[in-house]
Amino acid sequence: MKFPPMAIVSIMHRISGVLLFLLLPFVLYLLYTSLQSQADFEQLRQFTMASPFVEFLLWILVSAVCFHFLAGVRHMLMDCGLGEGLHVARVTAYLIILLEVIAMIFAGVWLW
């Protein structure tokens, strides 16, 4: 079954929201630990750099935040009546997918 790009973006927006919700305890732990002291921050930084799994989780997190933000802006603009036509909705869906791929590449380069 082939979904239209608008449906893919909408479904992925929901999935990224759930993913952000599930990763929230991990993010809060990282924030809490990094703000305790300079030594804790350095220890956390060393742990993050030494573990490919943690780097991968951070990449997934940054990618999910970027996608959720981009798709959320698109949805809010559509709620305001902009881009409701089929052609414009299709083009903006492809644009969101393209921008997310670019954001994922930049996030990967930044983290690794």
Could you tell me the domains of the chain? 5-22+51-111 (1.20.1300.10)
**pLDDT score for 83:** 86
Q: Give the Cα separation of 26 and 34 in Å (integer).
A: 12
The whole-number pLDDT of residue 41 equals 95
Nearest-angstrom CA–CA distance, 3 and 60: 24
Return per-residue pLDDT of the chain as tens, 112 residues.
799 999 999 999 999 999 999 999 989 998 999 999 999 999 999 988 899 998 998 999 999 999 999 999 999 999 999 988 999 999 999 999 999 999 999 999 998 8
Q: How many helices (H) and strands (E) does the chain have?
A: 4, 0
The pLDDT score that the predictor gives to residue 97 is 97
Read off the pTM.
Answer: 0.87
pLDDT at position 14, please?
97
pLDDT at 86: 93
